[in-house]
Amino acid sequence: MEYMNYIGGRWVGSVTGRTFESKDPANGEVVGVVPLSSAADVEMAVEAAAEAFRSWRLTTAPRRGEILFKVGQLLQERKERLAELVTREMGKVIAEGRGDVQEAIDMTFYMAGEGRRLMGHTVPSELPSKFGTSMRDPVGVVAAITPWNFPIAIPTWKLSAALICGNTVVLKPASDTPVLAAELVKLYEEAGLPPGVLNLVIGSGDEVGDPLVNHPKVDVISFTGSTDTGRSVLTQTASRMKRVSLEMGGKNAIVVMEDADLDLAVEGIIWSAFGTTGQRCTAASRVIVDRAVEEALTDRLVERAARLRLGHGLDPATEMGPVINDRQMDKIHQYTLIGVREGAKLLTGGEVARDGDLARGTFYRPTIFSGVQPGMRIAQEEIFGPVLAIIAVDGLEEAIRVNNDTRYGLSTSIYTRDVNRAFTAMRDITTGVVYVNAGTIGAEVQLPFGGTRETGNGHREAAWASLDIFTEWKTVYVDYSGKLQRAQIDLVEGMG
């Protein structure tokens, strides 16, 4: 099936006339043919968004919310079809595909509700007969640049928050999952979103992403992707004073203390490390375990990982799908070789799966290293694949120190039955998300999501916190005293 860009309320091909194929990573089958766009397409999309902003910002927030509610309902109605498409284009197993769409449903309904909130603050004035309040104003045109690993959920995080605040959007999806972006935009169109409010331009980072980031009429950039690309976005836009929100990499750890429920910990680690084939920014790539239970935990993890069934995600028996593409698979294997050279012990996996139907896709076997030292590259650098490093420590204090000692700071989990240890970890762990007796994945839309250090640049997605990047605070004073009153100078009436 052929897909197009969506600009100014019309589905149009790229001015380049070029196209490329989006393929199923499990078997190489073509999922759709999409435009290979250029800066000229970006120019048209941004102009359409800038023009639409004039009227969209004046559309009442409750009305904007009604449109989002319709989008949420359409997502619910099409959930199974979209979930299957997530599995075909991105590769995650069907249960996770459904979860991807459900997260989009949850976020859309949450943000639709903000249409009747979008709360500011009203506080007492220090002067009599004077009223003071603050309110949110939309910023303008938003560039939403989204990754391939959550091809429905993450675009929805950005779109629903930006739109409910009164901004207009140009969406640039990852080149590995453009069909899902087009299908998502169709739902917004069907829900009655006015022309130009949401625009879609499909293409590469060089030919679409860079022109979009640098366009003078783009006011906000909301980016999710690698730390290297995010850093480039930030440096490109610094001199233009653009508002930029970055959600980037992670090197997440699960801490297992000697008093932990090991069966529960094993299930949480396997899910966090190998769910989505390790291709989540919150995936667990490190296990920091007390030496007292290192051997017992390691044996269980290796046994469980070796049994994981690889295959196409539409097969309900499949437990782990493919890596997104050949380039990523090669990167993962290079890290396996690095781990071996560094002196870590490869316990299972560490190879491309080429047997039977797996040879048609990009499958990498679940990989576990033991004997990993905290400073090794496989313990410090984001791999973004099914690779787990086991690091032994002596006690909670060392575990927390090792956890915090990376350039990233997204998600951490601790397994313990000691409430004092749990609260100490909650206090001293310096990641943006902390779980107790659960894995490192599973964020919910009603709480802020994001990380510290090089995981982000201080902003948060989801919940009320995501509204800040898409709004300007406006403070309003109304003096109804009928006379000049000077704040901080004139005495408040009745005070001597």
Distance CA(158)–CA(202), nearest Å, equals: 17
pLDDT tier at 491, thresholds 50, 70, 90 = low
Give the pLDDT of residue 214. 96
Name the helix (H) or strand (E) containing 12. Answer: strand 10-12
Q: Which fold has domain 252-436?
A: Aldehyde Dehydrogenase; Chain A, domain 2 (3.40.309)
CA dihedral sign, ordered 286, 287, 288, 294: negative
Active-site residue identified among 47, 96, 183, 281: 281
Q: 104 forms bridges with which residues in the sheet?
A: none
Q: Is the pLDDT of residue 251 over 60?
A: yes
Mean pLDDT of 138-165: 98
Give the pLDDT of residue 490. 86
Q: Does residue 47 have an active-site annotation?
A: no
Closest C-alpha among 160, 150, 158 to residue 108: 160
Q: Furthest-apart CA pair in the chain: how many Å?
A: 89
Mean pLDDT of 479-486: 96
Distance of CA 50 to the CA centre of its chain: 26
Distance CA(225)–CA(58), nearest Å, equals: 32
Q: Is the pLDDT of residue 278 over 90?
A: yes
Mean pLDDT of 258-275: 98
Q: What is the pLDDT of residues 170-195, one digit of tens each?
A: 999 999 999 999 999 999 999 999 99
For the chain, what's the residue count? 496
Q: Does residue 29 have an active-site annotation?
A: no
Give the pLDDT of residue 493. 52
% of the chain surpassing 90 pLDDT:
97
Coil, helix or strand at residue 461: strand
**For residue 195, what are its two tokens?**
């022309």
Q: What is the pLDDT of residues 125-134, one digit of tens each?
A: 999 999 999 9
Active-site residue identified among 114, 183, 207, 247: 247
Q: Which class for 464: exposed (0-12), middle (13-18), buried (19 or more C-beta within 10 A)?
A: middle
Q: Is the pLDDT of residue 494 over 80?
A: no
Q: Which class for 269: exposed (0-12), middle (13-18), buried (19 or more C-beta within 10 A)?
A: buried
Specify the domain boundaries for CATH 3.40.605.10 within the chain. Answer: 5-248+456-476
Specify the domain boundaries for CATH 3.40.309.10 within the chain. Answer: 252-436
Rounded to two decimals, the pTM is 0.96
Q: What is the pLDDT of residues 400-416, one digit of tens each?
A: 999 999 999 999 999 99
Question: Domain 5-248+456-476 sits in which CATH superfamily?
Answer: Aldehyde Dehydrogenase; Chain A, domain 1 (3.40.605.10)
Distance CA(111)–CA(117), nearest Å, equals: 10
Coil, helix or strand at residue 149: coil
**From start to end of 421-492, where are the E strands?**
433-436, 452-453, 471-479
Mean pLDDT of 240-251: 95
Distance CA(449)–CA(441), nearest Å, equals: 11
Coil, helix or strand at residue 61: helix
